[in-house]
Chains A and B, each alone.
Chain A
């Protein structure tokens, strides 16, 4: 399958007056055409900064320190803002968490969608307007012709998110980055939006990066998952493997922290002790080691390479090493070169 995006050894830091905050610490992954990749992690895990790095939107004092972001073979990190603007909103577009703050309140919805369309095409105003109506209809907004004249405050949260999706899709992007698009919404509205995104993806065939902290949402929509913690990838896998037999203690911990709605009877939750790391002084070694119940000496000193559990599952944990003690639930296997893991996932 054709690779649409390859992220190689990406490092993104914020240089604050308190020191360097290493938000993303050497991560690599790739995306094939039609993939819906979930990036899951808690606050401060680096999931949002990863997505902002892809589209070149990391603001001062942050910057991409090293690594490459190859979009159809072109390294986006090497491009100027002007050159990047050809991609943004056209081939790569983004949906943000808060639908109210990502639309301009003083312009009509129509105005804003038409602007996006015309910025990247040679359509005239009337053609762009027709396209905008078509888009609003596509995302399920009733009476799109009249709604074009409405202002953002006249829409509910769910409707605004639909408008943002319409905007993001306006130029048939090849890659759509959705940063917590349903987090600010109520569950019944979240179900509507997820349903809409699933249908649109099937119809338009765009690849999607879906960022969320909710394992439930990932299971609903993604086919591949990256689990991030402390700026690093802990585990990456296809969706079935990850939920069936998670191979990183952090992934396992996350899954035990949430109640299972289907199991019928209540079980006491098993929380992960401690709190997330301070990225100003990240722990040397595996970022999860201070909270990990299996932590060994090596974990505190050196972060683990990715171990190849199967051709579609990789975990960065020393427990998979042949020399590590045997722990139930963890498969013994060989570490891989990062390059090799990229090829597969």
Chain B
């Protein structure tokens, strides 16, 4: 096994949004509340969770579209959270992003050449003929054709637009790509095309991915390790096989067992855990484990004391006070 070298390390990352009010009426939305994780070079780290769990905010904070409220974002050892726009500039090239909605994330008034070429120009990588050649090459890399270069986004289907978005991210030779739900707006038959392409590009260019999604089966397909989020906190982090074979956290267990199984004969349905209630409110959260109100194992301690993310076995981290009792370990 190759020695794993961290590319990105997130330490106690917090992003809170102030919603108004003062003093005791102050309303704060704690979108991300103290995350710790590492992404190693060349791997895909999946971040899963339900809507409102803070996975998208995490991605946007890492790329510094948001200024973090607290914590550190160490990229190749440099803390991005402390940098100003000017100091961030060289890192903008190293971290790129692919967005969820291929219809909203491309400027409708720009041609494909302009869209893909914008980053190349901003970072003074190529110009003139070389730039155009680079754009042609990128289009072919993502499975489009040279003649597409002069067209506008509306002339493409959803899957093709997502390919343009990927070409734009690749244009500046990034090291880390944050993929924020890149396939959830696409049809099933197109999703597999894009997932396979992302895997191929990773092998070819040695890319590292942070893959944010809510579709657990696709996340397992593409990720080496996965972090499960719930209301701004990480509940469990481990390798993708371990997560699916031995989920320890009660939330992960119920999340995995909620996935519809594309097999009418499956017997897994009988042991399904159906979670009661809804995802709680991230505004001024109460102390204690965020999952406690929906957890069948919750005890008094869960409602008063926040569990830390601890290593239960090598490489498998869980934030649950009673993980040992629940899982007999």
- Name A's B-contacting residues (CB within 8 A): 42-43, 156, 158-159, 186-192, 194-195, 213-220, 239-240, 243-244, 253-262, 264-266, 268-273, 275-276
Contacts and interface: CB of A to CB of B under 8 A. Distances in A.
Contacts of B264: 219, 239-240, 243
B262 A255 contact: yes
15 contacts: A187-B216, A191-B272, A192-B274, A216-B260, A216-B261, A219-B266, A239-B264, A240-B265, A255-B262, A257-B188, A258-B262, A261-B244, A269-B221, A271-B196, A276-B189
B244 to A, nearest CB: 7
Nearest to A260: B262
Contacts of A192: 274-276
Given A269-B221, A271-B192, A273-B193, A190 B260 contact: yes
Contact of B217 (A158, A244, A258): A258
A259 B217 contact: yes
A187 B259 contact: yes
A191 B278 contact: no
B274 A219 contact: no
Contacts of A158: 278
B306 to A, nearest CB: 22
Given A186-B279, A256-B192, A271-B196, 18 more contacts: A158-B278, A187-B50, A188-B254, A188-B255, A192-B274, A192-B275, A214-B188, A220-B269, A240-B264, A243-B264, A243-B265, A258-B188, A259-B217, A259-B220, A259-B221, A271-B190, A275-B190, A276-B187
Contacts of A239: 264
Contacts of B269: 220
A265 B220 CA distance: 10
Interface size class of B (residues with CB under 8 A): 35 or more
Contacts of A240: 264-265
Contacts of B255: 187-188
A129 to B, nearest CB: 26
B158 to A, nearest CB: 8
B131 interface: no
Contacts of A213: 187-188
Contacts of A276: 157, 187, 189
A147 B199 CA distance: 48
A63 to B, nearest CB: 26
Contact of A271 (B50, B160, B189, B259): B189
Given A192-B275, A243-B262, A261 B254 contact: no
A257 B191 contact: yes
A213 B184 CA distance: 12
Interface string B48-66: 0011000000000000000
Contacts of A189: 50, 278
A190 B260 CA distance: 9
A211 to B, nearest CB: 14
B214 A186 contact: yes
